[in-house]
């Protein structure tokens, strides 16, 4: 909700004339709202607040109301915030202050004062948890203090749903009185004074990894603290020695024991272990961090560099991030007051209590909570990885962890804090939700399987206890358009987090064993500034000048570069700093490219920039930065050439033929036909067809054996105004009939000498079947006028349908002329594939590859050699044909070429090929290496469905092969051809980033008209392109069903059919 809407609601109160609501910032940087109103009399703020509570969530009600004489304005008539009276923090709290009455209210006020850092005399029974700056992190501390004070257990929801102190106090009194309610009883952990204790599940994970990596420092937690000048070093040492005595866990070691034939791990408190203070200089300080021996101890060592630096190195099995804070506070307290607080129990007592709970099935409800969460489809996170060859190379190198970081600037940080304050969500849920959203975009997964790290100190006993408590908790984040908006997703995730905090006793390893859930490969950590920086002045540590090398994470950042390892492939960390936020992303560099990781962070920040869109559906939230989006939409599609869209293939062919009458156009069975003769013969057949009322968009089937008659027929049909449909005479009779009936043909052109094939045609009724060899090509050879519009159908090709019935794809004159004249150019100038003289036509006429073999060469004034029935599938005979007519242009599928190269005659014949095009299927590196051995010609890899006019991308493989010293790692389908636009989109038709998989969509001048008589399928596959400025049919894009991704160079890697993934 905008501030203006809050103002409107306040204006509804009788007597109020004008209102302005502004956001302000407390000393601790928390945001709050102040309402200023103009009224002729003073209104009780409680009255305003009570009214707003019926209209607004509590967190959206201003914390303070002040009556003013008038709204201060600038010279430009805008609000002058500087001239508004400035209330201080005490004013805001006093505004709501009502003295606490009951004993419980007084105790809660005292707890809130300590945890939320407010003077106790300012917190009353009507004080609000949210207005005091409470969030889901400090609520855990409040729970711990309530447990200690009242000896009862409550959960996070109990506080968040009762933010007013009086309401919470009343609830606590109620459950205290209910003796039958066992759910709120505090856990009593007794002291056992045992020197051996069962290892906890959190410790077990560290233990097993440490044993597996013996002699390693991967679980060392090294710390450095710069000391204040003139600090009393001896007193610092005394504090550490006393702490060593007070916290038994610092004397622990870990051993294996055989219990009834089973090996179990136990911690042992060894009173003989002492602490030594090692002396170092800045030159040899790197020797301080070294492997620990878990079976011997100590697992805690201390070093000093003069009186300037205190160093500690602690094994993770007895330490976590909170432990570091406990140690620092204990040293500070002893230094100042000469005391260190006694623990109620020791870590060993806690470990026994946890073990007993397990035996008594105490955690069954927590197991059920996670069972319910993961009772849904999910998989391990899968974002784009490096190719296998690169991963194999990196596996041979030391180190596999790298780190990227980025700061979120102050302005954006303020927007974040404002959003969190206004919407009443926790910072963890805010940042976690965006993290999951970005991963869903980069992985294409709606359910994101990740994890969070929690301190897991959920009772008062552990608040000041040194030890390893921190736990990793799995979480399933769902990103579906069924959720109304991103605001709702954040709130849903906040509720999930609250539930996880209430079910955080079990370690992740235990959940894996119990529920068989999959191992998680990524984790998210939010570090609030309260963890990063000590608020009080230190007499020991120079907090202004040092950076503590610790984190609440499980020691993810290591000092030794050779041992950068982590149990996660990705660790995403958001660190709250004094005025902004820092993002760090640690990743496995064997798996991920740095550019991909950078993009993920950029996308994360981009989503935050679009925070105003969070009230919209998630598919409308932009996550690709503007520069990259411009690159993939425009720069990668910059090969274009604008021309007057008024040309036709058959018209342009006649112009060429008129100027080059004697140039050989077609060679078939050793017969040669010049351009002039071919033009006249096609005119003749065109006049005949038009006399039979063949006109615009009339589809004329042509059933033809491999002969020059096919060329005469298809150009003649176009000149008549119709569209040609090739039908293979080898097709079954039923299929031929179906195709003829589907196009409602009135006439069929044929050239068939095979008796068996002719028999099939005798059963076709109500259709004129005209034999082209019987036509008199001497008649009506004069020019025939064009009657077509460019959007008329030029040809129809039937492709196999998934249901068994073939579907007819319609291609327009506009499509064909762009392909023939412009597609294979760069911005209309540089010709990619025009360096040849004679083309070989060996493809089936029903395959659109034949159009590339016939029509493209003819409009480029080349010659076409048509292989006959015997030659077309015989590599030896094709080799003879290539040699005989100096053929230097071939279009062929890679698998067919691979097979043909086994023939010695064929492999030798392609030596002089200038232009070798491969398409129709994927090409692999082995085939490319094989081809390169036989020809020095230009080798191209092409891609394009029938629906997009033969081909729409091209990659010059031979050039890449030579540039890379014959070491091509991957073969792409190349870049878009001229006036062809390619987009890689997600299921919402939004672009995906470079390197991210999505469906290949094809737009531009190559996109056909759709499917014959298949309106629904056409509408499904040919959709409006949101990235095109064209109009009408030119604005369509075709959904290929192919999976692909952009490379950094603007090429596309085709990854196969989406159906098969």
Per-residue pLDDT reduced to its tens digit, 178-221: 877 767 777 788 999 999 999 998 999 899 989 988 888 989 99
pTM to 2 decimal places: 0.81
Q: Are 839 and 854 within 8 A, CB to CB?
A: yes
Q: Are 381 and 445 within 8 A, CB to CB?
A: yes
H-helix or E-strand containing 491?
helix 486-501
Low-confidence ranges of the chain (pLDDT < 70): 1, 25-31, 58-59, 87-97, 130-131, 133, 135-137, 182, 388-399, 530-537, 543-566, 801-804, 963-968, 1033, 1060-1061
User: Of the candidates 501, 508, 515, 497, which has an alpha carbon nearest to the alpha carbon of residue 471?
Assistant: 508
User: Of the candidates 525, 628, 618, 522, which has an alpha carbon nearest to the alpha carbon of residue 568?
Assistant: 522
H-helix or E-strand containing 207?
helix 201-212
User: Of the candidates 695, 894, 726, which has an alpha carbon nearest to the alpha carbon of residue 806?
Assistant: 726
Structure tokens that stand for 953 in this block = 């991308």
How much is the pLDDT for 553? 31
d(CA 741, CA 734): 10
- DSSP letters, 241-293, are HHHHHH-GGGGEEEEEEEETTEEEEEEEE-TT----EEEE-TTTGGGS-----
Residue with tokens 């679009």: 610
Question: What order of strands is seen across the sheet that includes strand 196-198?
Answer: 196-198, 262-269, 252-259
- Write the CA distances from 352 to 196, 247, 338, 359, 510, integer angstroms: 10, 16, 32, 11, 17
d(CA 87, CA 105): 26
- Write the CA distances from 124 to 53, 157, 1003, integer angstroms: 19, 21, 66
d(CA 293, CA 332): 29
Bridge partners for 523 per DSSP = 571
Contacts of 321 (CB under 8 A, 6+ apart): 455, 470, 531, 550, 551, 552, 553
User: Of the candidates 663, 674, 634, which has an alpha carbon nearest to the alpha carbon of residue 1028?
Assistant: 634
Assign 3-state DSSP to the chain and report helix, strand, coil percentages, each to 5. 40, 20, 40
Contacts of 755 (CB under 8 A, 6+ apart): none
Q: Are 636 and 1046 within 8 A, CB to CB?
A: yes
Domains within the chain, CATH numbers bracketed: 3-96 (3.30.300.30), 103-177 (1.10.1200.10), 196-348 (3.30.559.10), 353-460+476-536+567-623 (3.30.559.30)
The conformation of residue 140, written as its DSSP 8-state character, comes to H
Three-state DSSP class for 830?
strand
- Write the CA distances from 776 to 133, 308, 719, integer angstroms: 95, 107, 17
Contacts of 226 (CB under 8 A, 6+ apart): 308, 309, 541, 542, 545, 546
d(CA 16, CA 331): 56
- DSSP letters, 62-87, are -SEEEEESS--B-TTSSB-GGGS---
Contacts of 360 (CB under 8 A, 6+ apart): none
**Start-end of H helices in 311-456:** 321-337, 347-359, 364-373, 388-395, 410-423, 427-443
How much is the pLDDT for 389? 54
Bridge partners for 1036 per DSSP = 1024
Percent over 70 (pLDDT), the chain: 92
Residue with tokens 């040919």: 1022
Per-residue pLDDT reduced to its tens digit, 738-751: 999 999 999 999 99
Distance of CA 268 to the CA centre of its chain: 46
Q: Is the dihedral of CA 900, 906, 908, 910 positive or negative?
A: negative
d(CA 648, CA 815): 10
CA angle at 727 for the pair 724 and 730, rounded to the nearest 5°: 165
H-helix or E-strand containing 41?
none
């Amino acid at each position: 909700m905008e501030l203006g809407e809050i103002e409107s609601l306040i204006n509804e109160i009788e007597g109020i004339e004008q209102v302005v609501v502004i956001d302000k910032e407390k000393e601790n940087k928390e945001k709050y709202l102040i309402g200023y109103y103009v009224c002729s009399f003073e209104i009780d703020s409680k009255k305003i607040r009570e009214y707003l509570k019926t209209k607004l969530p509590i967190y959206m009600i201003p914390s303070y109301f002040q009556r003013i004489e008038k709204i201060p304005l600038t010279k430009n008539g805008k609000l002058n915030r500087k001239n508004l009276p400035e209330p201080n923090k005490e004013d805001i709290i006093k505004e709501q202050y009502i003295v606490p009455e009951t004993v419980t209210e007084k105790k809660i006020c005292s707890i809130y004062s300590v945890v939320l850092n407010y003077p106790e005399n300012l917190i009353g029974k009507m004080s609000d948890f949210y207005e005091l700056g409470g969030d889901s992190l400090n609520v855990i501390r409040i729970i711990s203090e309530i447990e200690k004070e009242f000896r009862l257990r409550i959960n996070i929801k109990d506080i968040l749903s009762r933010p007013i102190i009086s309401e919470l106090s009343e609830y606590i009194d109620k459950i205290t009185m209910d003796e039958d309610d066992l759910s709120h009883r505090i856990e009593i952990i007794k002291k056992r004074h045992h020197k051996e204790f069962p290892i906890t599940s959190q410790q077990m994970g560290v233990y097993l990894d440490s044993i597996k990596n013996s002699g390693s420092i991967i679980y060392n937690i090294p710390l450095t603290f710069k000391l204040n000048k003139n600090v009393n070093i001896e007193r610092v040492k005394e504090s550490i020695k006393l702490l060593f005595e007070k916290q038994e866990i610092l004397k622990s070691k870990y051993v294996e024991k055989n219990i009834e034939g089973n090996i179990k791990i136990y911690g042992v408190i060894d009173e003989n272990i002492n602490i030594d203070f090692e002396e170092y200089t800045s030159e040899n300080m790197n020797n301080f961090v070294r492997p620990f021996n878990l079976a011997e101890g100590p697992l805690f060592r201390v070093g000093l560099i003069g009186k300037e630096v205190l160093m500690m190195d602690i094994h993770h099995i007895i330490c976590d991030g909170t432990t570091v804070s406990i140690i620092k506070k204990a040293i500070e307290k002893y230094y100042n007051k000469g005391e260190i607080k006694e623990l109620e129990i020791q870590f060993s007592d806690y470990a026994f209590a946890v073990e007993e709970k397990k035996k008594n099935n105490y955690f069954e409800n927590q197991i059920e909570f996670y069972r319910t969460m993961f009772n849904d489809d999910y998989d391990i996170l899968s974002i784009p990885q490096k190719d296998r060859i690169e991963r194999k190379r990196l596996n041979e190198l030391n180190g596999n962890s790298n780190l990227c970081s980025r700061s979120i600037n102050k302005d954006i940080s303020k927007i974040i804090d404002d959003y969190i304050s206004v919407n009443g969500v926790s910072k963890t849920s805010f940042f976690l939700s965006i993290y999951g959203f970005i991963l869903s975009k980069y992985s294409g997964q709606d359910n994101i399987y990740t994890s969070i790290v929690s301190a897991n100190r959920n009772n008062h006993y552990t608040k000041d206890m040194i030890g390893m408590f921190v736990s990793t908790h799995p979480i399933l984040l769902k990103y579906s358009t069924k959720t109304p908006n991103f605001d709702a997703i954040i709130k849903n995730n906040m509720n999930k987090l609250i539930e996880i905090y209430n079910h955080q006793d079990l370690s992740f390893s235990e959940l894996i064993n119990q529920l068989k859930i999959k191992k998680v490969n990524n984790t998210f950590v939010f570090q609030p500034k309260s963890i990063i920086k000590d608020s009080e002045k230190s007499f020991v540590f120079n907090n202004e000048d040092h950076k503590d090398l610790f984190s609440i994470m499980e020691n993810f950042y290591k000092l030794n570069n050779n041992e950068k390892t982590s149990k996660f492939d990705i660790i995403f960390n958001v660190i709250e700093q004094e005025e902004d936020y820092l993002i760090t992303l640690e990743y496995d560099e064997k798996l991920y490219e740095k550019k991909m990781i950078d993009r993920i962070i950029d996308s994360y920040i981009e989503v935050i920039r679009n925070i105003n869109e969070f009230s919209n559906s998630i598919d409308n939230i932009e996550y690709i930065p503007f520069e990259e989006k411009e690159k993939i939409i425009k720069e990668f599609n910059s090969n274009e050439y604008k021309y007057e869209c008024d040309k036709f293939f058959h018209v342009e062919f006649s112009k060429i033929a008129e100027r080059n009458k004697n140039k050989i156009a077609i060679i078939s069975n050793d017969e040669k036909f010049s351009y002039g003769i071919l033009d006249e013969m096609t005119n003749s057949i065109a006049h005949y067809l038009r006399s039979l009322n063949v006109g615009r968009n009339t589809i004329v089937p042509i059933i033809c054996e491999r002969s020059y008659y096919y060329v005469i027929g298809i150009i003649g049909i176009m000149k008549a105004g119709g569209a040609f449909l090739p039908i293979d005479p080898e097709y079954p009779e039923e299929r031929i009939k179906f195709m003829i009936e589907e196009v409602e043909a009135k006439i069929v052109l044929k050239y068939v000498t095979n008796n068996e094939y002719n028999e099939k045609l005798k059963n076709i009724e109500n259709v004129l079947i005209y034999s082209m060899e019987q036509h008199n090509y001497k008649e009506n050879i004069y020019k025939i006028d064009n009657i077509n519009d460019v959007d008329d159908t030029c040809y129809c090709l039937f492709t196999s349908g998934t249901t068994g019935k073939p579907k007819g794809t319609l291609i327009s004159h506009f499509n064909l002329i762009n392909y023939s004249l412009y597609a294979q150019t760069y911005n209309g100038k540089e010709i990619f594939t025009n360096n040849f003289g004679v083309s070989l036509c060996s493809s089936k006429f029903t395959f659109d590859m034949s159009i590339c073999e016939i029509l493209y060469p003819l409009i480029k004034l080349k010659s076409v050699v048509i292989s006959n029935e015997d030659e077309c599938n015989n590599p030896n005979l094709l080799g003879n044909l290539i040699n005989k007519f100096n053929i230097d242009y071939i279009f062929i599928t890679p698998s067919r070429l691979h097979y043909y190269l086994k023939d010695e005659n064929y492999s030798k014949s392609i030596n002089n090929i200038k232009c070798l095009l491969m398409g129709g299927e994927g090409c692999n590196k082995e085939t490319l290496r094989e081809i390169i051995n036989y020809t020095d010609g230009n080798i191209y890899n092409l891609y394009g469905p029938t629906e997009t006019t033969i081909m729409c991308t091209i990659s010059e493989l031979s050039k890449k092969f030579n540039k890379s010293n014959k070491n091509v790692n991957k073969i792409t389908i190349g870049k878009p051809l001229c006036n062809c636009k390619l987009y890689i989109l997600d299921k919402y038709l939004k672009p995906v980033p470079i390197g991210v998989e999505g469906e290949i969509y094809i737009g531009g001048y190559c996109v056909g008209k759709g499917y014959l008589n298949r309106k629904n399928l056409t509408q499904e596959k040919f959709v409006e392109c949101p990235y095109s400025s064209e109009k009408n049919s030119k604005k369509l894009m075709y959904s290929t069903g192919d999976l692909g991704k952009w490379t950094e160079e603007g090429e596309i890697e085709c990854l196969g059919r989406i159906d098969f993934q």
